[in-house]
Amino acid sequence: MRVSEAFASALTALRANRLRSALTMLGVVIGVGSVVLLVAIGSGAKREVEQQVEGLGSNLILVVPGEFALGSAPSVSRLKLEDVDYLGRVVGNRGSVATTVSSGEEVRVGSRRAFVTVNGTNENVPQVFDRPLARGRYLSRADVDTRRRVTVLGSQVAHDLFGDVDPLGRQLTVAGVRFRVIGVFAEVGSTFGVSRDLEMHVPVTAAQRLFGVDRIDALAVKAPTIDSIGRLQTTVVDALQRKYTGERFSAVTQTQILGTIGSILGLLTVVLGSIAGISLLVGGVGVSNIMLVSVRERTQEIGLRKALGARQRDILVQFLIEAVLLTTIGGLIGMTLGVAGAVAADRFTPLPTDVAWWSLALAFGVSVGVGVFFGVFPARRAGRLEPVTALRTE
């Protein structure tokens, strides 16, 4: 029997019992669909975060106290504002060093209020980070040096507090202290539904007074070229460790952050995919089970086919193709549903998704593989049936 004919005959067999075929396929449909969807969610998250890290600016070195690790509690900082000047001298350009000390505060305008991340920074932010303004101006060196109570608002904060009114020149209060709005950032969007436009920048000196601290949380240094990043990393860490003997500092680049985030979210994707893979496995067991039932039901047919000259191999191939067709059609339906689900999630929920071509290829390959793997056992059993026994079963 040729393979094309075996396919035609398998399709006839599957069509003959549509409901059972559909139910059997359902397991594979759900398995493949959830693999595609969950991998899309994982890779979407990864892409989103990577884009935002890249969007921070280029050739950036972030300096933090202690060891850098995502998810670990930040060490208590001993960095002081004077370290901005110190690092500026070390790297030879004060304008390339930005700083931050931040805290969540309630901000009010009249009766309106919003909970906002207040970032105390210096005038170098526009040179170091990639953070364009929509209106007004950024903080100046004079604002920082004279501890002026001025602020640049994130677009969401501006909207929440001032609505359609132009906020430039207007006042707001942070923990009872008045600030004047001098600029508004351009909108940068949100990550996982958390807006990055919900922050405001104030001079670091004013922020330290506001928060009652004299530390700064972190420093950021912009390297003049990509090639100088590595050297500058070492220079910066060495300089700080020389100054604060016994303390550890870390300087990380975007590439390193991306690598860390990438491996965490990559792991997340694998975990999500594996969980979905288990349902695919269960679907495969279902296929095996139904094929065994089918072999039993069709014992007589198998006997007849053998009496007409079918070899063991012909029968095996026939049943194997039925199993593979079941899982392959189920796989294709699952892929379609998975992609549709991913597109819908991307559009209608805060979850970013990114359908990876490799997950489609993998899902298809796995569904064919599941058919072969779970089909072989029933198919072999069918092929080995003795024709006499098979014909006798009536």
Partner 1 sequence: MTDPGGRPVVEAVDVTRSYRMADVEVTALAGVSLRIDAGEYLAVLGPSGSGKSTLMHLLGLLDRPTSGTLRIDGREVAGRSDAELAELRNATIGFVFQSFQLLSRTSAVDNVALPLVYRGVRGRERRERAVAALQAVGLGHRLGHRPTQLSGGEQQRIAVARALVGGPRVLLADEPTGNLDSRTGAEVMALVEQLNAERGVAVVLVTHDETVAARARRRIVMRDGRVVEDSAAGDGTVGDSAVGDSAVGDSAVGDSAVGDSAVGDSAVGDSAVGDSAVGDSAS
| Interface with partner 1 (CB under 8 A) | 1-2, 5, 12-17, 20-21, 290-291, 293-294, 297-298, 300-301, 304-314, 322, 386-388, 391, 394
Q: How far is the CB of 391 from partner 1 (least distance, A)?
A: 7
The least distance separating partner 1 from the CB of residue 271, rounded to whole angstroms, comes to 36
**What does each C-alpha distance from 367 to 330, 370, 391 come to in angstroms?**
8, 5, 34
Q: 298 by DSSP, 3-state: which?
A: coil
CA–CA distance, 70 with 260 (Å, rounded to integer):
7
80 φ/ψ angles, rounded to the nearest 5 degrees? -120, 165
296-303: list long-range contacts, CB under 8 Å, 24+ apart. Answer: 298/382, 299/385, 299/389, 299/390, 299/393, 300/390, 300/391, 300/393, 300/394, 302/382, 302/385, 302/387, 302/390, 303/385, 303/387, 303/388, 303/389, 303/390, 303/391, 303/392, 303/393
Least Cβ distance, residue 22 to partner 1 (angstroms): 12
**How is residue 126 written in tokens?**
């526009």
Report, in Å, the least distance between residue 273 CB and partner 1.
31
CB of 338 to partner 1, least distance (A): 27
Burial class (CB in 10 A: 0-12, 13-18, 19+), 262: middle
Report in angstroms how near the CB of residue 301 gets to partner 1 at its nearest: 5
Per-residue DSSP letter, 76: P
Give the pair of three-digit tokens for residue 284: 């495969």
Reference 390, options 317, 324, 315; nearest CA is 315
CB of 2 to partner 1, least distance (A): 7
Nearer to partner 1, 23 or 69 (CB): 23
Helices (H), 244-356: 254-297, 299-307, 312-348
Pairing of strands 177-185, 150-153: parallel
State whether the Cα torsion 303-306-312-314 is positive or negative. Answer: negative
Would you say 318 or 367 has its CB closer to partner 1?
A: 318
Residue 143 or 322: which CB sits closer to partner 1? 322
Cβ proximity to partner 1, 220 vs 382, nearer residue: 382
Minimum CB separation of residue 304 from partner 1 in Å reads: 5
Closest distance to partner 1 from the beta carbon of 374 (Å): 15
Rank residues 2 and 242 by Cβ distance to partner 1 and give the closer one. 2
21 vs 253, which CB is nearer to partner 1? 21
Q: Which lies closer to partner 1 via its Cβ, residue 255 or residue 300?
A: 300
As measured in angstroms, the least distance from the Cβ of 329 to partner 1 is 14
CA distance 278 to 305: 37
In this complex, which beta carbon is closest to partner 1, that of residue 42 or of residue 383?
Answer: 383
> Between 286 and 341, whose beta carbon lies closer to partner 1?
286
DSSP 95: G
Nearer to partner 1, 164 or 394 (CB): 394
By three-state DSSP, how is residue 182 classified?
Answer: strand
Please give the angle made by the CA atoms of 11, 13 and 17, to the nearest 5 degrees: 110
